[in-house]
C-alpha cells in the first residue's frame, strides 16, 4: 500500500508503482523523470508503468520526463484513489483494513496467481493457478476452514 503525498518523481514514482494499491493526495505531482538526468527508470519501474498504461503511454511519459498531476494518474490507472492531502494516510489505512482480516494463505496465493499472469509465459499460467488452488484447498480442508494458519 502506498500513501502518496507531495511528489512521486523518479525513484519515488518507481517505488509507488511497486505497491499493490496507491492512494494519492489530489495535489501530488508524478513523473518518470530519470530521462531528464540522462538515465532511465530502474527497479522495475518501466515494466510496471508499461503494464498499467500500455507501451505507447509509457514511452511518452518516460521519453518526456514530464510531470503530471494526480487526476491524470487516476485516469491512467496509476493510482487507485485520489483524496484531499490531509486524508491520504487515513484512506490508505482504510484500503488495507479491507483485507487484513482475510485468510492470509488464500490472499497470498491469490496475489501470487495475479502476479503470475504478469510474469509467467501464457502457457505456464494455468498450471501455476491450479497448483496454488490445490495448495489452498488442501490447507482449507485440513482444518482452518478459511485456508488460515492454525492458531491465528
102-144: CATH class: mainly alpha
Contacts of residue 136, defined as CB under 8 A and 6 or more positions apart, other chains included, come to 105, 106, 109, 147
Q: What pLDDT is recorded for position 152?
A: 41
- Each residue's pLDDT expressed in tens, for the chain with a length of 152 residues: 999 999 999 999 999 999 999 999 999 999 999 999 999 999 999 999 999 999 999 999 999 999 999 999 999 999 999 999 999 999 999 999 998 888 998 999 999 988 888 888 989 989 988 998 898 888 887 655 554 454 44
Residue length, the chain?
A: 152
Beta strands 7-9 and 81-83, pairing class: unpaired
Q: What pLDDT is recorded for position 146?
A: 54
Q: What pLDDT is recorded for position 65?
A: 98
Contacts of residue 105, defined as CB under 8 A and 6 or more positions apart, other chains included, come to 136, 139, 147, 148, 149
Q: What pLDDT is recorded for position 101?
A: 86
| CATH number corresponding to 2-99 | 3.90.226.10
Domain ranges of the chain: 2-99, 102-144
Contacts of residue 71, defined as CB under 8 A and 6 or more positions apart, other chains included, come to 26, 82
- 8 Å CB contact between 120 and 128: yes
For 40, other C-beta atoms within 10 Å of its C-beta total: 12
Same fold, 2-99 and 102-144: no
Distance CA 151, CA 127 (A): 31
Amino acid at each position: 500500500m502506498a500513501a502518496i503525498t507531495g511528489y512521486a518523481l523518479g525513484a519515488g514514482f518507481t517505488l509507488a508503482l511497486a505497491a499493490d494499491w496507491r492512494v494519492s493526495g489530489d495535489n501530488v505531482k508524478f513523473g518518470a523523470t530519470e530521462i531528464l538526468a540522462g538515465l532511465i527508470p530502474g527497479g522495475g519501474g518501466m515494466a510496471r508503468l508499461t503494464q498499467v498504461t500500455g507501451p505507447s503511454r509509457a514511452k511518452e511519459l518516460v521519453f518526456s520526463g514530464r510531470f503530471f498531476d494526480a487526476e491524470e494518474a487516476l485516469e491512467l490507472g496509476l493510482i487507485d484513489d485520489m483524496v484531499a492531502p490531509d486524508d491520504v494516510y487515513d484512506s490508505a489505512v482504510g484500503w488495507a483494513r479491507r483485507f487484513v482480516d482475510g485468510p492470509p494463505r488464500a490472499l497470498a496465493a491469490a496475489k501470487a496467481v495475479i502476479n503470475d499472469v504478469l510474469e509467467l509465459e501464457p502457457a505456464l499460467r494455468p498450471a501455476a493457478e491450479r497448483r496454488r488452488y490445490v495448495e489452498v484447498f488442501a490447507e482449507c480442508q485440513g482444518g482452518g476452514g478459511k485456508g488460515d494458519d492454525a492458531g491465528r
